Structure 1
Amino acid sequence: MTTTAVRNFPMLIGGEWVESADLLEIRDPQNDELVATAASGGAAHIDRAVEAARAAFREGSWSQAAPAERARLLRAVAAKVGDRLDELVELEIMANGATIRQATGFHIGYVAPHLEYFADLAERYAFERPAPRATFPTLAQSTVRKEPIGVVGAIAPWNFPLLLALWKIAPALAAGNSVVVKPDEKTPLSTLEFARIAEECGLPPGVLNVVPGPGPEAGARLASHPDVGKIAFTGSTEVGREIMRLAAGTVKKVTLELGGKSPSIVLDDADLEIAVDGVLYGCFLYSGQVCESGTRLLLPESLHDEFVERLVERAKTIVLGDTRDWETDLGPVISARQHSRILEYIASGVEQGATLAHGGGVPAGERFERGHWIEPTIFTGVRNDMRIAREEIFGPVLSVITYRADEEAVAIANDTSYGLASSLWSGDNDRALAIANEIEAGSVWINDAHQINCQVPFGGYKQSGLGRELGPDALDEYTETKNVHLDLSGRRDRRPYDVLLSHVD
């Protein structure tokens, strides 16, 4: 009996593709089959990558290049990503279980336009600007410069492996930094192939390095490394706290995009057809494995029964199946560990008194006996103090909570340690905008969900994160600010030195 050989993906350090004795097994979540292996890096590999990145930064062919030249290369990479879209989509879905529709539209489909946006930013960003001329205590002119930090460390999650890595890689490169990326060990393939594309387009060796490996070893070393000037992380709030602690040892800059428990607030004047589909989309896209998923549905008591009936009937039409089939709506969750965790949360919801209105287990059928499948699940009768309402499940579980007045809806929405996103559903824009002003979240989408726009900042309040990604100021997170002061007074007697030193003829 022969078995089909799986492709192995080495790591990229200093322009060289490096093998490792330790391998990561990449398994397809829909059937748990081994589909690839990747070199697994540890602290020593991170050290090599940081050294290569630092050397590339000091060499200057990228860090000192004109912003327009950096923009040109980023656009070339974007074009090649577009040319190789199908290949990157396959590398993505074989590792993280996204459907081909979703990966083509979002996971990989967003990569080229977002990269184009950062190329545009590189050209129009104010890397240098004059300050107002000073006349006191002396005549002087200051110039404010934005300079690259040096070596940036990026730690990306498994749910949107390439896109969320790109949100760190692209602004870092646009600003002139070198980068070391630590992708999640379950999903490194698309990021490794992206790095190969970047080097094929002419990115100098060492400017972009990719080291997959376990978080406690490779990720921890990257976050604590003294030669890394900035760490950007997307992942759970628990790990984010540890990243922040590790980074504090060398007082490096940090951005964190962490967990969420986002509310979808339906007002009593909402268009129910739009709101029902929007709530399902907001919660169940990618099996709820999105940090800003709308996993708490806040319904007015007057609408509850009708809305839930519509919600359940519409949820029954969601098709689970082969992730490579364009007719499939929903794929598996990422891993056996996550599968067990989600089922435990569902059990806790029942134990604490919530009512299962739909789903709640593994779908029936031979196809679903292998892999990590969970039905779209809807709970009613949920209180906001239940575990399923308070803790991030990261699975296809929607908790329905009722309220009586707008003020109560706002109070419930804000009664969480998270604050990443929120959706509002209403036929009255003024009313919705007024409520949006009261919501403690980094993004509030009115009559929509999952609207990630690279032209506006994204990030969270409270324990959902620190700093912002995307938007016109994204390069600020990847630069240091320097003031260069030029004295224009000339003569000694026009300077305030006599505050300390008496003048001697």
Structure 2
Amino acid sequence: MSDYKLYINGEFKDASDGGTFDSINPYDRSVNAKIAKATVDDTKEAIKTARRVFDSGVWSGKSKEERSAVLKQIADKIKENSARIQELEIADSGSTFKKSKDDMILSYRAMSTFSKLALTDLDEDPGISKEGFSKNMVVREPVGVVSAIIPWNFPLQMACWKIAPAIAAGCTIVLKPAPETSVTALELAKLIDQTDLPKGVVNIITGDAEVGEEMVTNPMVDKVSFTGSTEIGKRVMQLASGTMKKVTLELGGKSANIVLDDADMELAVDGTLYAIYFHQGQCCVAGSRLILTNKIYDDFIERLKNKMMKMKIGNPADKDTDIGPLVSEKQQKRVLDYIEIGKKEGARLVYGGGIPEGFNGYYVEPTLFADVTNNMRIAQEEIFGPVLSVIKVKNENDAIAVANASSYGLAGGVWSTDNDKAMHFASKLRAGTVWINEWHLLNDRAPFGGYKQSGLGRELGIEGLKSYTEVKHIHVDELKDRKKKFWYNVTVPVE
């Protein structure tokens, strides 16, 4: 069993009070590792370190080329160690072999992409300069100290999504992974420690709500970047407002998956299964609401059921496993409770709905509900589990109204063989990401974030990089004669 420590100022440290917690394997409930549990004092130390290092200019003063080179070093370290870290992530989070392998690639890609984006000149010419009168520049500077709090569903990838743009912009950062899945973020700390990144630029701590609250309220922090539930996101926003910090929130979703009558049905069925059951539905963009017209409703549900019967529930470490465990006993109970809610609300259980036999871990069968109405809780609330709600509409135009009748707006999808028609539907969806004949495919160079209660701001791409900067307008006046100044004769006594 491994021991993991906090990473503060380039040193691996025990918690100040010696506290620890266990990493539990969701597959068999065994203990993987013992992890140092940060206190509020440890958190203050990490933030103080990040503040001191940022203000020193040892990183914020580096050139774009120097920052880019270090990001590439981190990316290369991830790539070199991906097989080992993948095994740890499977044991720590219950991610399947297939999913965790992709996570390693995407984590590398995030660091690699931002090593390139770090070279981007973000400064602008506002077009208001006038020769002989004034020169104007709009420059972007690193925002400062960043507190980043990430969820348990994509541990390494989320850590890279926060760290990469922050340090590419010249910021320093304190990162807190979720208690359920802290191992790979702390493994990332070991890799970062082997690069040329100055000590104290990246600090990684663990802990519970009181640690998170200190990260959000501490006056030395300039920006908070949070990924998690909408409920907690609202609390983060409220706490951060006390010191008017910049806030980026990537929150929950209840994404609508619309299959139009002319869709390639075989493709749409496979895509629908992937949209919801990928990572056991523990994904903010999961296609958890399936919207079908009367014309294709019964046939499509039957196709889904037949395919679901062939999905393999198994050990997440096995290469052919489709469905692994949920991350924790708490999450398992949450999902099972929602399944019972769906039954009581009158939804028809077509498939699944229980705990599969033969497993000791936190498993829930892939579950399919039909005859769901859009006002049911299972259609409106984020379950974060392998539960698909199918909603019938009279016609395709009604599908848009149902899709948008949600407090969320993170993602959505449309399946059709008519691209113009699909684009029309995509333009009507109130969501930050819309897929056409695809799902879950994100690009590090494209912005990611949500409408409505799915969040504030954007991550990834140039928009994500800019979110870690402050904007400054510099005006250089070139008039030599003070009498030609616009304010002469206004507030200055005339001689």
Q: TM-score range by the shorter chain?
A: over 0.9
Shift of 1:110: 0.4
Q: 1:174 aligns with which of 154, 168, 185?
A: 168
Q: What secondary structure is seen at the aligned counterpart in 2 of 1:381?
A: strand
Shift of 1:144: 1.6
Find the counterpart in structure 1 of residue 88 from structure 2: 91
Q: Following superposition of structure 1 onto structure 2, how do residues 419-498 of structure 1 map, counting pairs within 5 Å?
A: 419-495=409-485, 496-498=487-489
More moved, 408-417 vs 320-329: 320-329
Find the counterpart in structure 1 of residue 492 from structure 2: 501
Output one character per residue of 1:440-473: Cα deviation in whole Å (capped at 9) or x when no partner: 0001100011111111111000000000001222
**What's the TM-score, normalizing by structure 1?**
0.96
Aligned partners of 2:115 and 2:168 also within 8 Å: yes
Give the 3 Å change call, closer, same or farther, for CA 62–359 of structure 1 in structure 2.
Answer: same
Find the counterpart in structure 2 of residue 3 from structure 1: none
Find the counterpart in structure 2 of residue 45 from structure 1: 42
User: Is 1:358 aligned to 2:351, yes or no?
Assistant: yes
Output one character per residue of 1:306-347: Cα deviation in whole Å (capped at 9) or x when no partner: 111110000111111111111111110011111111111101
Find the counterpart in structure 2 of residue 112 from structure 1: 108
Q: What secondary structure is seen at the aligned counterpart in 2 of 1:132?
A: coil
Aligned partners of 1:184 and 1:212 also within 8 Å: yes
Shift of 1:132: 2.8
Aligned partners of 1:24 and 1:186 also within 8 Å: no
Following the alignment from structure 2 to structure 1, what is the Cα–Cα distance between the partners of residues 259 and 12?
Answer: 51
Find the counterpart in structure 2 of residue 55 from structure 1: 52
Find the counterpart in structure 1 of residue 9 from structure 2: 14
Following the alignment from structure 1 to structure 2, what is the Cα–Cα distance between the partners of residues 459 and 397?
Answer: 23
Following the alignment from structure 2 to structure 1, what is the Cα–Cα distance between the partners of residues 137 and 327?
Answer: 50
Shift of 1:135: 4.6
Aligned partners of 1:132 and 1:141 also within 8 Å: no
Aligned partners of 1:25 and 1:37 also within 8 Å: yes
Give the 3 Å change call, closer, same or farther, for CA 82–47 of structure 1 in structure 2.
Answer: same
Q: What secondary structure is seen at the aligned counterpart in 2 of 1:242?
A: helix
Amino acid at match of 2:463: D
Output one character per residue of 1:421-453: Cα deviation in whole Å (capped at 9) or x when no partner: 001011111111011111100011000111111
Aligned partners of 1:432 and 1:446 also within 8 Å: yes
Find the counterpart in structure 2 of residue 306 from structure 1: 299
Q: Following superposition of structure 1 onto structure 2, how do residues 344-383 of structure 1 map, counting pairs within 5 Å?
A: 344-365=337-358, 368=359, 370-383=360-373
More moved, 240-249 vs 400-409: 400-409
Aligned partners of 1:133 and 1:139 also within 8 Å: no
Amino acid at match of 1:394: F
**Greater than 6 Å deviation, 4+ residue runs:** none
Following the alignment from structure 1 to structure 2, what is the Cα–Cα distance between the partners of residues 277 and 296?
Answer: 15
Following the alignment from structure 1 to structure 2, what is the Cα–Cα distance between the partners of residues 28 and 395?
Answer: 18
Q: 1:233 aligns with which of 226, 230, 238?
A: 226
More moved, 284-293 vs 487-496: 487-496
Q: List gaps (5 residues or longer) in structure 1.
A: 1-5
Shift of 1:77: 1.0
Following the alignment from structure 1 to structure 2, what is the Cα–Cα distance between the partners of residues 92 and 347?
Answer: 31
Find the counterpart in structure 2 of residue 271 from structure 1: 264
Shift of 1:125: 3.1
Following the alignment from structure 2 to structure 1, what is the Cα–Cα distance between the partners of residues 231 and 163?
Answer: 23
Shift of 1:129: 3.8
Q: 2:388 aligns with which of 395, 398, 404?
A: 398
Q: RMSD of the alignment, in Å?
A: 1.2
Shift of 1:198: 1.3
Amino acid at match of 2:25: D
Find the counterpart in structure 1 of residue 24 from structure 2: 27
Find the counterpart in structure 2 of residue 163 from structure 1: 157
Following the alignment from structure 1 to structure 2, what is the Cα–Cα distance between the partners of residues 482 and 26?
Answer: 44
Q: List gaps (5 residues or longer) in structure 2.
A: none
Shift of 1:87: 1.4
Q: What secondary structure is seen at the aligned counterpart in 2 of 1:276?
A: helix
Output one character per residue of 1:100-128: Cα deviation in whole Å (capped at 9) or x when no partner: 111011x22201111111111111232x3
More moved, 95-104 vs 492-501: 492-501
Q: 1:124 aligns with which of 116, 120, 123?
A: 120
Q: What secondary structure is seen at the aligned counterpart in 2 of 1:213?
A: coil
Output one character per residue of 1:38-82: Cα deviation in whole Å (capped at 9) or x when no partner: 111121111100111111112222110001110011011111110
Q: What secondary structure is seen at the aligned counterpart in 2 of 1:92?
A: helix
Amino acid at match of 1:122: A
**What's the TM-score, normalizing by structure 2?**
0.98
Shift of 1:497: 2.5
Shift of 1:133: 4.5
User: Is 1:329 aligned to 2:326, yes or no?
Assistant: no
Q: What secondary structure is seen at the aligned counterpart in 2 of 1:385?
A: coil
User: Is 1:191 aligned to 2:185, yes or no?
Assistant: yes
Following the alignment from structure 2 to structure 1, what is the Cα–Cα distance between the partners of residues 126 and 426?
Answer: 36
Output one character per residue of 1:369-414: Cα deviation in whole Å (capped at 9) or x when no partner: x110000000011111111111100000000101112221000000
Following the alignment from structure 1 to structure 2, what is the Cα–Cα distance between the partners of residues 70 and 199?
Answer: 15
Q: What secondary structure is seen at the aligned counterpart in 1 of 2:257?
A: strand
Following the alignment from structure 2 to structure 1, what is the Cα–Cα distance between the partners of residues 14 and 133?
Answer: 59
Following the alignment from structure 2 to structure 1, what is the Cα–Cα distance between the partners of residues 5 and 57?
Answer: 26
Find the counterpart in structure 2 of residue 415 from structure 1: 405
Following the alignment from structure 1 to structure 2, what is the Cα–Cα distance between the partners of residues 303 and 61?
Answer: 61
Following the alignment from structure 1 to structure 2, what is the Cα–Cα distance between the partners of residues 486 and 359?
Answer: 68
Amino acid at match of 1:355: R
Give the 3 Å change call, closer, same or farther, for CA 408–129 of structure 1 in structure 2.
Answer: closer
Aligned partners of 1:131 and 1:141 also within 8 Å: no
Amino acid at match of 1:322: N
Following the alignment from structure 1 to structure 2, what is the Cα–Cα distance between the partners of residues 264 and 81?
Answer: 34
The count of aligned residue pairs is 492
Aligned partners of 1:161 and 1:183 also within 8 Å: yes
